[in-house]
């Protein structure tokens, strides 16, 4: 392994033990190593009570990003509790470009979670992914206040209606509207 050539700070992918992303992150930060551990907040429906709960999941299960000098801190990182190994190619830890880390960070909101949704603006053409209106197209009107629901204008051959659906089931289908 050629560790001697890496004397500058770089980002690396750390493979953690199963379900140990937080533990590895905390322990690496204790060594003053910068860590990015992106998380998602996902809705989970209880099939028996129909109640919605939110659970936190890692964006990349069993993987986090750490920034360190490979030649100085490889052993410290590799043998940190919660760490399994570093992702490597040809026995050399693979470096991640700063732009990729900045892209991941740019998607993390003020709440600390990665935003995977597309930004919707009034007038965007959308499709409903599931439910009784599955595969119907419509025009996004607005998000409802204090809710995770949106209002859409559906138009079919002989029918036009406003519907309110869960935001999670709506996808934007075109990024720009063309003048007809």
Q: E strand or H helix at 47, and its extent?
A: none
Task: Name the fold adopted by 125-172.
Answer: SH3 type barrels. (2.30.30)
Partners of 165 in beta bridges: 150
Q: How confident is the model at residue 160 (pLDDT cuts 50, 70, 90)?
A: confident
Domain boundaries, the chain: 9-106, 125-172
Q: pLDDT tens-digit profile of 89-141?
A: 998 999 999 999 999 998 888 888 887 666 778 888 888 888 878 888 888 88
Dist CA 179 CA 77 (whole Å): 56
pTM over 0.85: no
Whether domain 9-106 has CATH 1.10.472.50: the reply is no
Q: Identify the residue with better confidence: 99 or 174.
A: 99
DSSP 103-169: HHHHTB-TTSSB--SPP--TT-EEEE-SSTTTT-EEEEEEEPTTSSEEEEEEE-SS-EEEEEEEGGG
pLDDT band at 70 (very low <50, low <70, confident <90, very high): very high
């Amino acid at each position: 392994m050629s560790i001697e050539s890496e004397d500058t700070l770089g980002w690396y992918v750390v493979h953690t033990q199963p379900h140990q992303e937080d533990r590895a992150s905390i322990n690496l930060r204790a060594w003053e190593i910068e860590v990015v551990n992106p998380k998602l907040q996902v809705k989970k429906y209880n099939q028996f009570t129909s109640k919605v709960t939110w659970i936190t999941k890692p964006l990349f299960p069993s993987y986090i990003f750490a920034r360190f000098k490979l030649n100085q801190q490889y052993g410290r990182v590799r043998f940190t509790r919660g760490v399994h190994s570093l992702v490597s190619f040809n026995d050399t830890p693979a470096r991640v470009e700063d732009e990729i880390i900045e892209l991941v960070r740019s998607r993390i909101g003020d709440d600390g979670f990665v935003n995977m949704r597309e930004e919707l603006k009034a007038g965007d053409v959308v499709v409903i992914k599931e439910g009784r209106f599955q595969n119907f197209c419509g025009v996004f009107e607005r998000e409802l206040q204090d809710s995770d629901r949106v209002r859409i204008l559906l138009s079919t051959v002989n029918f036009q209606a406003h519907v309110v659906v869960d935001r999670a089931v709506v996808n934007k289908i075109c990024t720009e509207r063309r003048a007809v």
